[in-house]
């Protein structure tokens, strides 16, 4: 493993019954990188993120995040990461402020620190108008930003974002891209997306998953930018179509 | 500890934001009042009969039949009826605790926070128990008001309240376990009712079993362990039974949370 790697994955497998959702996945992500996870639906992106965040356990292989083992030191890893799930669902009975306080409290932030961070995030993510509204009742765009704010309230070392712009309008997508750029100044960001242009514009390196296996891994330039990655997608699509017929 | 208390606070906020908490508290207050008034009415009828018989010199003035007093005729049956009300409302309180997290997909947020499975399960369990303490406190209002107006032996009443708290502890853990295992809240509530009713009283099975099995079944029945408290008897066996049931359910709920991460 390389010095300075924040995420180290080696020989990772995840099985759901007879199905290999992830098969022998090995890669590393360096400190301060914005790393893209790409793949078609069902390629294993979300499963990979769920394992990296401790939500699910791997079937085999080793995963280290922030220098710690995801199974043996799961709590310590979860203290150092932030996670924005795909289609974030928030507690319907907590206000946005209540939700951010809850997450801040779990992360052990002092009352004063929580207050200042909530004010900072509300202004940074444009949550002022909804801060005392019930989080679960906010619009999709707001829910995405609230979830992102909750993921970074404790200033984590690594932030995992699962399709953060899915379902957002162009303006909201643009705002989210700006937030990701700002996040990357302080944290390592792992971004899962369908959107090749998004990954091309935001990420320095990317991994393309195909049926749970690594199809391509490297710097965006090495992969040929968005068009090069699109070619990988086209090839896997053609292959799947051929197998169906 | 701080993380667990944070979960307790979140769960209580959620509980009091839902109508179920208010329905449960209202149901307890209403049913307790109805049981109390009904028992009081029956007691008054017996007193009136006694006065009539005294007037016709069938019994001597001032002679009170044994067992005919406010404590045994009104308060104890009311406190005992509370156990049945608890049995009815606890599955409604616990059904959403784990299940709702999964159906609303908020579990992804909760399980990726730095909270151990024990802290999550303990937080949910403690929040349920704190709420049930409030429910039992409502049940204790009528004995408290009665005690302020007449001379009562408080020992059996306090023991009964302790019994109700222990019963709540055990039933809450059964409800939480069902919520941790079920896919829907309805299934969680129904399975909690089924388990609670099944262990309520095994005496009907004793007709078909031998002596040793009888003793085991009798020990396993909830009713066996509720009987002593209204008489003011606090037995270690009963305390061990209820806390054992409570902790067993809690541990299994915690295990099911750990298994969820493997799937």
Q: What is the pLDDT of residue A108?
A: 93
Read off the pLDDT band of B133 (50, 70, 90): very high
Say if A99 falls within a structural domain.
yes
Q: Is the pLDDT of residue B259 over 50?
A: yes
Report the number of distinct structural domains present in chain B: 1
Domain of residue A142, residue span? 88-155
| pLDDT tens digit sequence for B172-181 | 999 999 999 9
Of A78, A94, A98, the CB nearest to B112: A78
Residue of B nearest to A98 (CA): B10
Say if A160 falls within a structural domain.
no
| pLDDT tens digit sequence for B109-132 | 999 999 999 999 999 999 999 999
Of A53, A89, A136, the CB nearest to B112: A53
| pLDDT tens digit sequence for B207-258 | 777 778 888 888 888 888 888 888 888 899 999 999 999 999 999 999 998 8
Read off the pLDDT band of A1 (50, 70, 90): very low
Say if A167 falls within a structural domain.
no
* Average of per-residue pLDDT across A236-242: 73
Read off the pLDDT band of B60 (50, 70, 90): low
Contact A133, A86 (CB under 8 A): no
Mean pLDDT of chain B: 87
Read off the pLDDT band of A190 (50, 70, 90): very high
Q: What is the pLDDT of residue B198?
A: 86
| pLDDT tens digit sequence for A111-153 | 999 999 999 999 888 888 999 999 988 888 888 889 999 999 9
Q: What is the pLDDT of residue B104?
A: 87
Q: Is the pLDDT of residue A2 over 60?
A: no
Mean pLDDT of chain A: 88
Of A54, A93, A108, the CB nearest to B112: A54
Q: What is the pLDDT of residue A9?
A: 95
**Token pair listed for B123:** 């937080």
Contacts of residues B60-67 at CB distance under 8 Å and 24 or more positions apart, as own/partner, are none
Q: Is B20 on the interface with A (CB under 8 A)?
A: no
Looking at the complex, report in whole angstroms how far the Cα of residue A10 sits from the nearest Cα belonging to chain B.
19
The interaxial angle of helices A140-152 and A170-183, nearest 10 deg, is: 10
Report the number of distinct structural domains present in chain A: 1
Domain of residue B93, residue span? 2-260
Q: What is the pLDDT of residue A40?
A: 84
Residue A4 CA to residue A208 CA, distance in Å, equals 22
Residue of B nearest to A103 (CA): B113
Say if A75 falls within a structural domain.
no
Residue of B nearest to A152 (CA): B113
Residue A207 CA to residue A201 CA, distance in Å, equals 15
Q: Which helix (H) or strand (E) holds A35?
A: strand A34-39
Say if A144 falls within a structural domain.
yes
Say if A125 falls within a structural domain.
yes
Bridge partner residues of A217 (DSSP): A207
């Amino acid at each position: 493993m390389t010095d300075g790697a924040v995420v180290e994955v080696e020989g990772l497998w995840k099985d759901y019954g007879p199905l290999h959702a992830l098969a022998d996945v090995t890669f590393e992500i360096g400190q301060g990188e914005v790393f893209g996870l790409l793949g078609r639906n069902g390629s294993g992106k979300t499963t990979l993120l769920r394992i990296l965040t401790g939500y699910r356990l791997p079937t085999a292989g080793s995963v280290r995040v922030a220098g710690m083992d995801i199974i043996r030191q799961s709590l310590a890893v979860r203290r150092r990461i932030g996670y924005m799930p795909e289609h974030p669902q928030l507690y319907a009975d907590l206000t946005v402020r209540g939700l951010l306080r809850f997450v801040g409290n779990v992360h052990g932030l002092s009352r004063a620190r929580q207050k200042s961070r909530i004010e900072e995030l509300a202004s940074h993510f444009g949550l002022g108008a909804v801060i005392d509204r019930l989080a679960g009742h906010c619009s999709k765009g707001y829910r995405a930003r609230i979830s992102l704010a909750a993921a970074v309230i404790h200033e984590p070392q690594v932030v995992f974002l699962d399709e953060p712009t899915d379902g957002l309008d162009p303006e909201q997508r643009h705002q989210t891209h700006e937030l990701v750029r700002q996040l990357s100044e302080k944290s390592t960001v792992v971004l899962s997306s369908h959107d090749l242009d998004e990954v091309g514009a935001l990420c320095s390196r990317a991994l393309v998953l195909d049926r749970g296996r690594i199809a391509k891994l490297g710097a965006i330039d090495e992969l040929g930018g968005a068009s090069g990655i699109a070619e990988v997608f086209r090839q896997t699509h053609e292959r799947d179509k051929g197998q169906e017929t | 500890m701080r993380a667990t208390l944070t979960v307790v606070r979140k769960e209580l906020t959620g509980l009091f934001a839902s109508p179920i908490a208010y329905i449960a508290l209202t149901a307890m207050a209403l049913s307790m009042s109805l049981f109390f008034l009904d028992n009081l009415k029956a007691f008054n009828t017996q007193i009136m009969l006694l006065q009539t018989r005294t007037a016709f010199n069938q019994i001597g003035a001032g002679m009170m039949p044994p067992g005919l007093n406010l404590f045994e005729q009104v308060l104890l049956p009311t406190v005992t009826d509370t156990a049945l009300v608890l049995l009815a409302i606890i599955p409604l309180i616990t059904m959403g605790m784990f299940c709702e997290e999964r159906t609303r997909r908020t579990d992804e947020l909760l399980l990726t926070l730095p909270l151990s499975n024990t802290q999550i399960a303990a937080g949910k369990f403690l929040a349920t128990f704190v709420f049930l303490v409030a429910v039992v406190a409502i049940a204790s209002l009528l004995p408290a008001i009665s005690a302020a107006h007449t001379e009562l032996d408080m020992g059996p009443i306090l023991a009964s309240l302790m019994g109700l708290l222990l019963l709540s502890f055990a039933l809450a853990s059964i409800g939480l376990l069902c919520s941790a295992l079920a896919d829907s809240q309805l299934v969680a509530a129904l399975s909690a009712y089924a388990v609670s009713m099944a262990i309520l009283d095994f005496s009907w099975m004793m007709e078909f079993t031998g002596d040793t099995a009888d003793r085991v079944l009798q020990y396993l029945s909830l009713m066996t362990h509720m009987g002593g408290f209204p008489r003011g008897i606090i037995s270690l066996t009963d305390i061990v039974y209820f806390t054992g049931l409570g902790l067993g359910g809690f541990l299994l709920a915690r295990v099911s949370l750990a298994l969820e991460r493997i799937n």
